[in-house]
Amino acid sequence: MTTPKREGAGEPLAILAAGGNVPYQVASAAEAAGRKVLVIGIEGEADGRLRDFRYEPLKWGQLGRVESMISAHGARDVVLIGSISKRPDFSTIGIDLRTLRLLPRILKSMVGGDDQVLGNIIGYLEERGFRVIGAHEVVPELVAEAGQLTGPSVAKALRDDARVAMDAARGIGERDIGQAAVAVNGLVVAVEAAEGTDAMLERVGELHARGRVKWSGRAGVLAKCSKPQQDLRVDMPTIGPQTVAAVVKAGLAGIVVEAGRVMIAERAETLHAAEETGTIILAVAGGEGQRPP
């Protein structure tokens, strides 16, 4: 039982799940596709609903146990998915011996973004013969497809803003600085670095409120793209219902994402929130062939 789009349908799948709603979505879709699912839920992060599946709780200090859990399930494929709201504090949690060996790699990864904590576990798992796959390989509809997904018809000015904002976001992405930018009336008004997309959108709202950047009604877009060096299997830029809410609050008209390389978490809710608020969501192909997805 295989389909061209869903990887390894029918085979057992292990999902190492952190926070947010996406892990539940992935587990449900995998099960619906006929896969035998094991969820290994990070304590303090994983959604309680995940216990509907075959479930193993895991403390950060027990990361070394992941290997045996996956093996016991008979899985070769592993998905690492979910957000990390609280950085593990390795000074207060008990750490088992196997995890201790993993620690240098984890600590190194924690210097980077939150998602890197998961990202750097890949090498460890691959060395042990597992195959780390992206959640979007199990659930293709997680990823934005090219085209206009929501909202009213797009005026030329907004299409220009989309191009300008996407160009800025790609520019900083190539430098590994961030993956989002905002353009209004042809000008880039904010660029994301360590503060994250939500804080950047809040800043845009303040700049607008203080008259530092002027526009009337709703105008401009948030662009979000992946970095060329990003491992999309475990670290895909994501928009969700809260992104739509933040964009509306900032007075922006829409969101433009890179097709095939940006995840829409809680797709139904996100698209519904966008339609309800008249917010445009556009997905564009990766840079006129320069950066194929």
- The reply to whether 177 sits near its own copies by the rule CB under 8 A is yes
Is position 17 an interface residue for its own copies (rule: CB under 8 A)? no
What is the C-alpha to C-alpha distance for residues 166 and 180, in angstroms, rounded to an integer? 8
Closest separation in Å from C-beta 88 to its own copies:
13
Distance CA 153, CA 8 (A): 39
Scanning 44-52, 126-134, 139-147, 196-204 for contacts with its own copies by CB under 8 A, the matching segment is 196-204
Contacts with its own copies, 95-124, as mask; x by CB under 8 A: ----------------xx------------
What would the two tokens of residue 177 be? 């600085």
Q: How far apart are CA 76 and CA 86, in angstroms?
A: 29
Question: Which of the ranges 54-62, 101-109, 207-215, 271-279 carries the binding residues for its own copies, by CB under 8 A?
Answer: 207-215
Any contact of residue 146 with its own copies (CB under 8 A)? no
167 forms part of the interface with its own copies (CB under 8 A): yes
First to last CA, the chain: 27
User: Cβ 207 to its own copies, closest distance in Å?
Assistant: 5
Instruction: In whole angstroms, give the CA distance from residue 77 to residue 221.
Output: 37
Whole-angstrom Cα Rg for the chain = 20
Inter-residue contact 170 to 287 (CB < 8 Å): yes
Provide the β-strand partners of residue 280. 254
State yes or no: residue 247 binds its own copies (CB under 8 A): no
> 17 or 162: whose CB is closer to its own copies?
162
- Of 102 and 164, the one with the shorter C-beta distance to its own copies is 164
Q: What angle do CA 110, 165, 189 make, to 5 degrees?
A: 85
Q: 3-class DSSP state for residue 164?
A: helix
188 binds its own copies (CB under 8 A): yes
The H or E element containing residue 78 is strand 77-81
* # binding residues, its own copies (CB under 8 A): 28
Q: In whole angstroms, give the CA distance from residue 125 to residue 123.
A: 5
Q: How far is the CB of 291 from its own copies (least distance, A)?
A: 17
Kindly state whether residue 246 participates in binding its own copies, applying the rule CB under 8 A. Answer: no
CB of 21 to its own copies, least distance (A): 23
Residues that bind its own copies (CB under 8 A): 111-112, 167-168, 171-172, 175-178, 181-182, 185, 187-196, 199, 203, 207, 212-213
